[in-house]
Amino acid sequence: MAKADISIVGGDAVTPRQNFYVDDRTTSSASATIKPGEPVKLEDAAGGNNFALLLATGEPNVTSTTRFVGIAEDESDETSAADGSVNVAIVVPYITKLRCKAHTGTNINTVAKIKLLTGDAVTFDLTSSKFTVNEDEGDDPNDHGLVMVDFDIEKGLVDFYVKPLTTLLGNSY
């Protein structure tokens, strides 16, 4: 994965930082370390583990048992045999403003197009080894956890907030 897929562009001064444990890559089946700028979740709390992992395509969402924690600030240091840790900037719902590339840049290349997308609730996509905001999937305010609020037409970037019920601070799981 590339570094700095996602950046914090608003609310950084009040965004808390925390170190989270990362399971060894053999137990977790992760193929690589978590890189700076990648979104981090905690595993299903019902399973008894609270290790940090990368979010997957289609996350964050309200119906998931995982909790979106925030954005990795450094590279995790787990190995195939030993647990490690990663420092994470914890997203504060509707305060921490994030920025990421759009999944399909041509979907946000005119004012007319972004007017139709502003306020839509969507999720991340990770199909090309780089995180993007999946504006293609359509608005689902009952489940999707990212709310698109601003766009950079020239650079193909989306600014968004995270909904409370998908986060560490708001998810009831």
User: How far is the C-alpha of 23 from the C-alpha of 6, rounded, in Å?
Assistant: 23
Q: How does residue 172 score in pLDDT terms, banded at 50, 70 and 90?
A: low
Give yes or no for residue 48 having a pLDDT over 80. Answer: no
Give yes or no for residue 88 having a pLDDT over 70. Answer: yes
User: How far is the C-alpha of 62 from the C-alpha of 141, rounded, in Å?
Assistant: 9
Give yes or no for residue 173 having a pLDDT over 70. Answer: no
Q: What average pLDDT does this structure show over 55-69?
A: 88
Q: CA-based Rg of the chain, rounded to a whole angstrom?
A: 15
Instruction: Return the domain boundaries, the chain.
Output: 6-93, 97-163
User: How far is the C-alpha of 122 from the C-alpha of 162, rounded, in Å?
Assistant: 10
**Separation in Å, CA 149 to CA 10, 70, 103:** 12, 18, 16
Furthest-apart CA atoms within the chain: distance in Å: 51
Q: How does residue 1 score in pLDDT terms, banded at 50, 70 and 90?
A: very low
3-state secondary structure the chain: CCCCCEEEEECHHHCCEEEEEECCHHHHCCCCCCCCCCEEEECCHHHCCCCEEECCCCCCECCCCCEEEEEECCCCCCCCCCCEEEEEEECCCCCCEEEEEECCHHHHCCHHHHHHHCCCEECEECCCCCCEECHHHCCCCCCECEEEEEEECCCCEEEEEECHHHECCCCCC
Q: What is the pTM of this model?
A: 0.92
What does the pLDDT look like over 112-171, one tens digit per residue? 999 999 999 999 999 878 999 999 988 989 999 999 999 999 999 999 999 998 888 776
| Sign (positive or negative) of CA dihedral 15, 125, 138, 66 | negative
